[in-house]
Structure 1
Amino acid sequence: MPIDKLDLQSPDRVNENFDKLAALFPNCVTEGAEGRAIDFDLLKQELSHAVIEGNKERYRLEWPGKREAIVTANLPTTKTLRPVREDSVDFDNTQNLYIEGDNLEVLKLLQESYLGKIKMIYIDPPYNTGKDFVYKDNFSKDAQEELIESGQKDEYNQRLVANPETAGRYHSDWLSMMYPRLKLARNLLSNDGVIFISIDDNEVHNLKRVCDEIFGDSNFIANVIWERAFAPKNDAKYFSDSHDHILVFTKNILEFEIGKLERSEEANSRYKNMDDDPRGPWTSDNLTVKTYSAAYDYEIKTPSGRMVSPTDGRCWFTSKERMQKLIDDNRIWFGKDGNNVPRLKRFLSEVQTGMVPISIWPYKEVGHNQEGRQEVKKLFDDKGYFDGPKPVRLLSRILQVANLDEDSTVLDFFSGSGSLAHTVYSWNAENQERVSFIQVQLPEETDEKSEAYKAGYKNICEIGKERIRRAAKKIKEETNSDIDYGFRVYRLDSSNMQDVYYKPQDYDQGQLDAFADNVKSDRTAEDLLAQVMLDWGLALSLKITPVDVSGKKVFKVAENSLYACFDSDIDEDFAKAIAEDKPMRIVFRDSGFKNDTAKTNVKQLFKQLSPETEMKVI
């Protein structure tokens, strides 16, 4: 009896999308040269009330390479994440993750484990100013990738390519980089989740349209203007740019609730008590509205005896009867002499707790770019190892507006120097919460002439990890808060499995016998466990407890959510011992059984002794 094997690759979104369409429109399923296919002309007709006669112009964002970008997002990956304990802090207990590698591949790997589980995403991608590097994604393997896989060229140097303004596909290459990453990121957001994207004037128009397409224009929240500079640049040719944009989109606007800001002293100072009202300070508001109704167009007599009517084209906001009740309750203000146009009194004691955020964020409230730079320098003995980090105050405002729960997970897949992780530590210490972070960063090499390189930081990830360690230490010393100061480090790598695992049909029987063990020789049990957790949709932050069962090492993930044993000589006695715990899932190496008879018997024993346990092999 065969035992199910784990796929050990990210989901094939093309096949999933095909199956969904086939279920909805079975009449659109046909056959093509490569097997089953969708009749897209017929599908178009199914989705239209009018007769479809062919391609027509339509309103949408197009660029050379868009179709390839869509394919890139949908293609599965066989890569994996390998734990790096030596770079981690409190690996066994922390809920935080730091992942090194190409964020496109990482986002694909997180699709099962974090589907719909991320409350907030913040990213600060390349602004495409003409001086940036962009990620160059190849959706099909070519000679260049063969060189990378063979070790003849470095993957990360090859993926990052310059994108000067003189390039023929200057905007297109940037859009092709952003589109698949945002498409995959949307899947990770919870239904009430929200994404914040920093950008400047160069690409904000394109980014808005891409996000309209991916998230839906009805889920657009705001274009926040952040005053990033505190002083003008007099050498600017036309205008001195002092702002960046932060585009805000939600997964589902019907479920997202904005986080209110604390009321400021300045806001409260607008409330006075000019008539010694026992209900306390108040401010006055206009009583008229522009949506005219004849029933609400009437005269009001002031205490001085003057008759007042709404201005032309407007009317009062309520009926004559209710207006009189408000006057009797001293909620209408006619001025000190009782002769002014009436206004509604709004009491500070009755306004909602907190203030709705406005779309302009001045640096006095949320910090500026130099503040972000100084925060990093203070952690590195006054050395500026990273350009353009966002200030903690800005990211704290974003966390507040995102309306996090006390145990939410936030994600940054262009994490740079680790500003979001720093902010999460500070946020948790201040609010006594358990917000966790996932940071993803390509290990882009530092310039050999830079201070960072000379100090021993060979790539951005080394700067980011050290910044997070130092920020955690500083916050712990200053606050003594009992929070999670750790993070688990994972590094993107090729699959733990030999190629034969994925394409056995490409090998003859003699070759298959040579690959009795599908696992690469340099991979550890913890490497295998991480790939199994990703394939089975388990969060990489779950508690992992190694235990000894009948002399063999067993990894228990989240109590009994998963048992994994990659030792050899698995037999019936071992299966009986494990079955007593009734784990939800269990995985072994395909080559780990004592013999073929033991392999069959172990499966049967689990069916008898723990029928709810799902057993698979790799």
Structure 2
Amino acid sequence: MPVPEESVNFETSENLIIEGDNLEVLKLLQKSYHGKIKMIYIDPPYNTGNEFIYPDKFREGLEDYLRYSGQVDGDGIKLSTNTETDGRFHSKWLNMMYPRLFLARNLLADDGVIFISIDEIEFAKLRLMCDEIFGEENHIADFVWQNKKGGGNDAKYVAVEHEYIVMYAKNEVSLHHLFEPYKPEYLQRYKEQDEKGKFYWDTFKRKSGKQYYPITCPDGTVLQYEEYGNPISWLRSEERFKSDVEQGEIRFIKTENGWSVQFKQRLPQGKKPRSIFLEESMLTDKGTTSSGSEQILKMFEQNIFPNPKPVELIKHLIGFTTQGDEYVMDFFAGSGTTGQAVLEMNQETGSKRKFIMVQLPEPTGDPSYPYITDIMKERIRRSLKKGQGSSEGVRVFKLSSSNFKVWDLNVNKKKRLEEHLRLFTDNIISGRTNIDLLYEVILKSGLSLAIKIEEVQKAGNIIYLVEQGALIICLESKVTRGLFESILQYRPGQVVCLDSAFEGNDNLKTNVKLQMEVHGVVFRTI
């Protein structure tokens, strides 16, 4: 259900917030977003032994499970003193995660990747499950992230200061090369540019090495030995040097100390990501859990969300896996860190990445923000304002039941059947608007929730042109032949209208269907 009043630039934005159970949302997105997501990042609830708020239904009862898993005997007597750390403790978490990851894989592009944050409790189990869903060959890396610093003296044995981020590809064969983006200060030295890219002039001479050969300068001077009579070592082989000279990659500069041989040091494509997120690496300032909390505190001036991931961490993952205009998804979106990370990346680099964030409306106990989704929506709105002049926005949707009545399969008595048929003369649920119907039809047609829609008037009726008229939707309660003749002027691929709009006029419906078929238009009613 669209919620324009909670959105920003609803008509134009391609960013999505969907409020609802992520399992149901992932099911509904299968057709529209199949193979379209470049990167998924999720930070699911860790298995602390508490009950999960996600309302999945498990077929087996606890007593049945304990019995056949050998944790209780036939009389219900426990055979293990540590049942909470065995069997079902892991099984419930894995049962919650498995269908979500299975559906998520369908949404990934062929060169797409997924990152999953996890701690040591379920790390090994998660790896085994992902090997089954994504394929062991598509496991790319397990990143180790230092999520806290200091303290830990109250730990039982060892102070754990890290978490894991497990990375899998949809198809490792299709995955492009991964490189970390360069920081601005690193790029400053690459001031020159030619048709091949950016570079700077660097000395060809090296203090150590085994590339010994004479080089003749423009005035005939031969460079072969340094001032102490030792042979000069060059950066590259003699064969490569001659090739570089021919290609203009080498220059000779006359200095006070004689000739200097220089070559074009070209900007590398990037640096390979490192598997350990430490301060000494290029992952400096990628943050800890406490820095994530500080970001929330600074934005809201109160601690309203526990242990959020830092924005810098997600920005780093986005930076070396996406190219600039793809979809990034987070279906355990929490406070909206991933959405803020995408917006900041766009604002800093001029890219056009889009996000899809899904979150269950979990109660917070805070009257200012009653649900986690309220925090997320406000965080994104504030991030958009921070962008100053950004044309971006976000479309907010809420998971709900279908706008159309569901037929009761248990109707078997004649009286009840007659009543049911009367109810279905109008099959739309009371209180639903045309906009609500419109987006359900779009979703069921396999089109994006962020698709462009134009509302126009034809023959006294309102019609919706979706994707510049490729799909035309009419939700009027009464239709005429003239309306459909006007619709055909757009040369649509398919046309959808309400079945109830033809009530009492079966001839019109039959004629319209034939007319559409003649013009090669797919026509259907709902």
Shorter-normalised TM range: 0.7 to 0.9
Distance in structure 1 (CA, Å) of the matches to 2:51 and 2:340? 25
- Are the equivalent residues in 2 in contact too, given 1:134–1:177 (CA < 8 A)? no
Q: Does 2:442 match 1:533?
A: yes
Q: Residue 511 in 1 paired to residue 419 in 2?
A: yes
Q: Determine whether 1:496 maps to 2:412.
A: no
Letter in 2 for 1:424: V
| Residue 597 (1) aligns with residue 520 (2) | no
Distance 1:404 1:550 in 2: 45
The answer as to whether partners of 2:181 and 2:320 remain within 8 angstroms in 1 is no
Q: What are the Cα deviations for residues 339-385 of structure 1, in whole angstroms up to 9, with x where unaligned?
A: xxxxxxxx8915723211111112533111111111111111x2011
Partner of 2:268: 352
Give the partner amino acid of 1:116: G
Map 1:446-461 → 2, pairs under 5 A: 446=364, 448=365, 453-455=366-368, 457-461=369-373
Of 153, 160, 173, which aligns to 1:234?
Answer: 153
Secondary structure at the aligned position of 2:112 is classed as: strand
* Residue of structure 1 in register with 2:118 after alignment: 199
Residue 21 of structure 2 is aligned to residue 91 of structure 1:
no
Q: Match for 2:278: what amino acid? A: P
CA separation of 1:326/1:475 partners in 2, compared to 1, >3 Å: closer, same or farther?
closer
- The Cα of 1:390 is off from its aligned counterpart by 1.2
Structure 1 residues 590 and 507 mapped into 2: Cα distance closer, same or farther (>3 Å)? Answer: farther
Cα pair distance change 1:261/1:101, threshold 3 Å = same
Among residues 297, 307, 324, which one is paired with 1:377 in the alignment?
Answer: 297
Q: Give the drift of 1:554.
A: 1.3
Q: Superposed, which structure 2 residues align to 1:550-569 within 5 Å? A: 550-569=459-478
Instruction: Determine the C-alpha separation between the residues in 1 that align with 2:166 and 2:48.
Output: 18
Q: Offset at 1:266?
A: 11
Distance in 1, Cα, partners of 2:242 & 2:10: 66
Paired residue for 2:359? 441
How many residue pairs are counted as aligned between the two chains? 456
- Give the structure 2 partner of residue 5 of structure 1: none
The residue aligned with 1:388 is 307
Structure 1: gaps of 5 or more residues: 1-81, 143-163, 270-277, 288-301, 307-321, 331-346
Quote the residue 1:462 is aligned against.
Answer: 374
The alpha carbon displacement at 1:328 in A equals 10
Q: 1:282 to 1:423 in 2, by over 3 A?
A: farther
Question: Does structure 2 retain, via aligned residues, the 8 Å contact 1:281–1:348?
Answer: no
Who is 1:523 aligned against? Answer: 432
CA–CA distance in structure 1, aligned partners of residues 500 and 398 of structure 2? 26
The answer to whether the 8 A contact 1:90-1:487 is kept is yes
The 2-side partners of 1:494 and 1:469 are apart by 27
Note if 1:584 corresponds to 2:496: no
Q: Which amino acid aligns with 1:369?
A: T
User: Runs of 5+ in structure 2 lacking a partner?
Assistant: 62-82, 189-200, 211-224, 231-235, 245-262
User: After superposition, where does 1:388-427 map in structure 2 within 5 Å?
Assistant: 388-405=307-324, 407-427=325-345
Q: Deviations over 1:193-230 (max 9, x none)?
A: 01111111111111111111111111111101111113
Alignment partner, residue 169 of structure 1: 88
Which stretch shows the higher mean deviation, 513-522 or 214-223?
A: 513-522
SS, match of residue 386 in structure 2: helix
2:203 is the alignment partner of 1:280: yes
Amino acid paired to 1:529: L
> CA–CA distance in 2 between the matches of 1:268 and 1:494?
52
How far 1:286 moved relative to its partner?
9.1
Which stretch of the first structure deviates more once superposed, 211-220 or 361-370? 361-370
Q: Once the two structures are superposed, what CA deviation does each residue of 1:518-550 show, in whole Å capped at 9, x if it has no partner?
A: 111122111111111111100000012222111
Stretches (4+) displaced over 4 A: 139-142, 164-168, 263-269, 281-287, 302-306, 322-330, 502-509
Q: In 1, Cα distance between the equivalents of 2:444 and 2:161? A: 46
Q: Which amino acid aligns with 2:154?
A: D
Quote how far apart the aligned CAs of 1:329 are.
11
| Mapped partners of 1:238, 1:245: distance in 2 | 20
Q: Secondary structure at the match of 1:499?
A: coil
* Aligned CA-pair RMSD: 3.5
**Matched residue, 1:133:** 52
| Contact 2:469–2:491 (CA under 8 A) maintained in structure 1 | yes
**TM-score for the superposition, normalised by structure 1:** 0.67
Distance (Å, rounded) in 2 between the aligned partners of 1:540 and 1:283: 58
Q: How many angstroms apart in 2 are the aligned matches of 1:285 and 1:510? A: 94
What's 1:68 paired with? Answer: none
CA contact (8 A) 1:409 1:437 kept: yes
Sequence identity, in percent?
41
The correspondence for 1:574, drawn from 483, 503, 523, is 483
The change in CA–CA distance for 1:549 and 1:167 in structure 2 (over 3 A counts) is farther
Deviation of 1:459 (Å): 0.9
Q: 2:386 — aligned with what? A: 474
Quote the offset at 1:231 in angstroms: 2.4
TM-superposed CA distance for 1:87, in Å, is: 1.3
Q: Alpha-carbon deviations, 1:77-118, whole Å to 9, x = none?
A: xxxxx1112211111111111001110000000000000001
One-letter identity of the residue aligned with 1:497: F
After superposition, the Cα gap between the structure-2 partners of 1:129 and 1:604, relative to the gap in structure 1 and judged at 3 Å, is: same
Could you tell me how far apart the structure 1 residues matched to 2:350 and 2:304 are? 31
Letter in 2 for 1:454: P
Deviation at 1:615, TM superposition (A): 1.0
1:289-304 maps to which residues of 2 (within 5 A)?
none
Aligned ranges 1:78-227 → 2 under 5 Å: 82-131=1-50, 133=52, 135-138=54-57, 165=84, 169-227=88-146
Cα 1:328–1:516 change in 2 (3 A) is closer
Letter of the aligned partner of 1:231 in structure 2? G
Report the CA distance between 1:463 and its aligned residue: 0.9
Q: Is contact 1:563-1:586 (8 Å) kept?
A: yes
Contact 2:181 2:319 in 1 (8 A): no
**Structure 1 residue 483: deviation in Å?**
3.7
Partner residue in 1 for 2:288: 368
The separation in 2 between residues aligned to 1:218 and 1:284, in whole angstroms, is 43
**2-structure distance, mates of 1:533, 1:115:** 15
